[in-house]
Amino acid sequence: MPRVYLGLGSNIERERYLAAGLDALEALYGHLDLSPVYDCEAIGFSGQPFLNMVVGIDTEASVAELARDLRRIETEHGRLPDATRYSPRQLDIDLLTYGDSAGEVDGVQLPRAEILTNAFVLRPLSELAPEDRHPVDGRSYAALWDAFDRESQQVRRVAFTWRGREISGE
């Protein structure tokens, strides 16, 4: 069963929609492994800051099934199908990795390029799965974070509680 990492983000009613995304993912895939939550500046547009985190799941679902499920969850939580890439959103869920898959799989480019370029993805991933290795680069996520230019993008760990469980503290 492949290990899958998903990136979750929200900059509209952030706590509400992040929690709703976790609820929907748990209903579909069962147990979720959760990173701490980070407050992150919007990248690519001028907007409210995001809350971002990474979720790990184990699933037999194919990449195509996952992609379909993730789009449905986003749409059910207010995301417009034609929303521009860099824009405010209630809920954004990205498929970051699917096991060791690399290249285009079912129309999805894996692993997601943002792992290597965006602190809001790499930082939580490096905490959730520090020893796991990037399927193409080969370095561990902890090593990638150690080498990342942290001055270029600021992320700040924030307190977040889901279903009475403290996911992260400040």
Task: Convert the pLDDT of each residue in 70-89 to its tens digit.
Answer: 999 999 987 666 666 656 78
Q: Domain locations in the chain?
A: 3-168
**Averaged over 13-33, what is the pLDDT?**
97
How far does the chain reach from its first CA to its final CA, in angstroms?
Answer: 34
Q: Which CATH architecture has domain 3-168?
A: 2-Layer Sandwich (3.30)
When the pLDDT of each residue in the chain is averaged and rounded to a whole number, the result is 93
Contact 101, 63 (CB under 8 A): yes
Whole-angstrom Cα distance, residue 90 to residue 63? 23
According to the model, what pLDDT value does residue 162 have? Answer: 96
DSSP H or E stretch at residue 124: helix 119-128
According to the model, what pLDDT value does residue 80 have? Answer: 61
According to the model, what pLDDT value does residue 77 have? Answer: 87
| pLDDT beyond 70 at 15 | yes
Phi and psi at 67, nearest 5°, equal -60, -45
Amino acid at 35: S
